[in-house]
Amino acid sequence: MNQLEQAKLEVIEYANRMLTEGLVKGTSGNVSVRVGDQVAITPGSVPYPEITPDRVAIVDLDGNHLAGGNPSSETPLHTLVYRETDAAAVVHTHSIYATTLACTVDELPAVHYMIHAFGGDTVDVSDYERFGSDELAAAVHKALGDRRGVLLRNHGAVVHGPTNALLNPASVDAQADATTADAVLRELPAPGRLVYRRVLEPRYRKRQLWAA
């Protein structure tokens, strides 16, 4: 089996994991894996359990459709991440926790040490732009910076895995980050009751969120 065919299977596997783990509902969200100059990505508006290898869309790094089903509407977001970072896999979720926080805060602070899985002490919230647009892709790229995760204003979350791993570990890594985002978000107090306090231990050197 060549790498592209393996990537299709990974897209199917982790798309269905998103569904069963409650990170998406229906056909929302999307998963992609990069193989060289090509990207395997979930097809748009197809229920995850119905996706077969021949229905996984193949696009180039500019988003041009090469084979398979119709690419996800968020293909511009995925391909920009691939062009501008070392990503080997990208996951976009619509989990209730990520979406709720993306509607209420401008930045997710260090409420849990697992936040460092995203490459820093915070996770930023991108500016709001219409789904599927080039403007949304640009806003996500700007908010990502050198991090591996970002919340999308009034929308959801995006994470990516590095190229310094084989395709399968990169896919697992990206999916794990999406789950980590959900776990971290569960730790937050109710919106409107948030106050910030500096963690006293110097080794942490990050903000901690506490209920007022």
Residue 180 has a pLDDT of 66
Q: Indicate the pTM of the whole model.
A: 0.81
Predicted confidence at residue 99, as pLDDT, reads: 87
pLDDT at 198 exceeding the cut of 50: no
pLDDT score of 200: 35
108, pLDDT greater than 50: yes
Model confidence pLDDT, tens digit, residues 55-75? 999 999 999 999 999 999 999
Averaged pLDDT of the chain: 82
pLDDT in tens, 176-192: 566 667 666 666 655 54
Question: How many domains would you assign to the chain?
Answer: 1
> Which among 13, 74, 84, 187 is annotated as catalytic?
74
**Band of residue 109 on the pLDDT scale cut at 50, 70, 90:** confident
Quote the pLDDT of residue 190: 52
Q: Nearest 5 degrees, angle CA 36-CA 57-CA 93?
A: 90
Reported as type and span, the H/E element at residue 194 is strand 194-198
Q: Say whether 74 is catalytic.
A: yes
Residues 133, 72 contacting (CB under 8 angstroms): no
Closest CA to 137 of 117, 155, 121: 155
Closest CA to 182 of 72, 95, 80, 58: 95
pLDDT tens, position by position, 20-49: 988 899 999 999 999 999 999 999 999 999
Q: Which of 56-65, 72-81, 166-175 has the least mean pLDDT?
A: 166-175
Cα dihedral 179/180/181/185 (nearest 10): 110
pLDDT exceeds 50 at position 166: no
Residue recorded with tokens 């930045």: 107
CATH of the domain at 155: 3.40.225.10
Q: Which two tokens stand for residue 175?
A: 């999916």
Per DSSP, what are the bridge partners of residue 115?
none
Domain that holds residue 11: 3-211
User: How many alpha carbons fall within 13 Å on the CB side of residue 140?
Assistant: 36
Residue 197 scores a pLDDT above 50? no
Percent pLDDT > 70 in the chain is 76
Q: What stretch of H or E contains 93?
A: strand 87-93
| Predicted confidence (pLDDT) per residue in 144-155, tens digit | 999 999 999 999
Fill in the DSSP letter of residue 98. H
- Residues 83, 126: Cα–Cα separation, whole Å: 18
